[in-house]
A and B are shown apart, each in its own frame.
Chain A
Amino acid sequence: GAVVSQHPSWVICKSGTSVKIECRSLDFQATTMFWYRQFPKQSLMLMATSNEGSKATYEQGVEKDKFLINHASLTLSTLTVTSAHPEDSSFYICSARGSREGRETQYFGPGTRLLVL
Chain B
Amino acid sequence: AQSVTQLDSHVSVSEGTPVLLRCNYSSSYSPSLFWYVQHPNKGLQLLLKYTSAATLVKGINGFEAEFKKSETSFHLTKPSAHMSDAAEYFCVVSEQAGTASKLTFGTGTRLQVTL
Contacts and interface: CB of A to CB of B under 8 A. Distances in A.
Contacts of A110: 41-43
Size bracket of the A interface: 20 to 34
B102 A49 contact: yes
B43 A2 contact: yes
A4 B107 CA distance: 23
For chain B, what secondary structure do more than half of its interface residues adopt (helix, strand, loop), or is it mixed?
loop
Size bracket of the B interface: 10 to 19
A44 interface: yes
A91 B63 CA distance: 27
B43 A111 contact: yes
Given A43-B108, A44-B90, A4 B43 contact: yes
Contact of A93 (B44, B45, B101, B107): B44
B105 A108 contact: no
A42 B99 contact: no
